[in-house]
Amino acid sequence: MRCTIDTEYPEVPITIYVGDFEEDQVMLQDTVEIPITLYDLPVDEYYSVAALYTGGGDTLVVLRGDEISTSSTEYEDATCWSVRGAEVDCRLP
């Protein structure tokens, strides 16, 4: 997950939801202080992320979502797994 972290927004509270955020199934809440944060989440699910940027008396909410899916390729002696859709960009424009 990517967030805007700078002097105006040194930390950003985020909420990760399973499904659309309107369904209110909270997976986890955190406050990020670095621009790129990694989370281990179950695959084959759609996730929504709400990032709250508070500064200057205003609060901006960035909502993004993506599905994390997998596929596999069988080889003679191994299975190779690929993960798709595992990035959410919640940076400010």
pLDDT per residue as tens digits for the range 26-83:
999 999 999 999 999 999 999 999 999 998 889 999 999 999 999 999 999 999 988 8
Domain boundaries of the chain, sorted by first residue: 12-84
> pLDDT digits over 46-62, tens only?
999 999 999 888 999 99
What is the number of other CB atoms lying within 10 angstroms of the CB of residue 58? 7
Is residue 49 within 8 A of residue 65, CB to CB? The reply is yes
The reported pLDDT for the residue numbered 22 is: 95
CA–CA gap between residue 87 and residue 12 (Å, rounded): 17
Tracing tokens 């992320």 back to the chain, one arrives at 49
**Cα angle for residues 53, 59, 64 (degrees, 5° grid):** 55
- Model confidence at 93, pLDDT cuts 50, 70, 90, reads confident
CA–CA gap between residue 80 and residue 72 (Å, rounded): 5
- Report the DSSP beta bridge partners of residue 40: none
